[in-house]
Amino acid sequence: MLKLALFDCDGTLADSQYAIVAGMRAAFVACALPAPADVAIRNVIGLSLPCVIATLSPDADDTLQRALVDAYRDAYFTQRTIAGATPEPLFDGIIDMLDMLSAQGWQLGVATGKSGRGLLRLLDAHGILNRFVTLQTADHHPSKPDPAMAVAAMTQASVRPCNCVVIGDTSYDMMMARGAGAHALGVAWGYQSPDALSAAGAQAIIETPAAIPAALAHLVGSSA
């Protein structure tokens, strides 16, 4: 039986909030706008960048929103590529958890609001790029919670929805999973509250990466 563990990136695999918040604040400053509160930025991590900008600057016209998108990309790329810059850290236990899932026969994938360039850079910097059989990014799909990324990942991995579990830290991940007919597993170490995950359709919420293999086995086993 083919089965797929489909991970969100920011807030699930990697602790990217500091880089994202700094880049977003720099973008607003570059466009002569007051920077949003950090908590407001964290609450929209997981959406694709244009949706993030639209949410944080609802009164800005299309031209200004496009300028903010470009300014964020420039700021984020600059801070991640300056001499001596380190990649966003993985959460503790992520690599051991990926090893365990692979040993148990799970295919691994990522569905993220990041750009393809950003995702590849991050995974390669941590030496885990080759572990994933499918990488779905904001470059080619509508933003979460649209199910398109999950559907494309399942198609590429030849996995039925009942054998796919989406693992993420936001309501957008949970809604994407349910919209695609997949299982939805919330993680409590990310950027949205367990209550928000449950309200969006999470079937279970776990506290540590080490708990993922057992949770996935339960969810897929319960649907067999």
Tens-place pLDDT, residues 205-214: 999 999 999 9
- Determine the Cα angle at 220 with ends 214 and 224, to 5°: 135
Predicted model pTM:
0.92
90 pLDDT above the threshold of 50: yes
Q: Is the pLDDT of residue 140 over 80?
A: yes
For residue 110, report the phi and psi dihedrals to the nearest 5 degrees: -130, 140
| pLDDT tens-place string over residues 61-88 | 999 999 999 999 999 888 877 756 688 9
- Please give, one letter per residue, the 3-state secondary structure of 35-94: CCCHHHHHHCECECHHHHHHHHCCCCCHHHHHHHHHHHHHHHHHHHHCCCCCCCCECCCH
Share of the chain above pLDDT 90, in %: 89
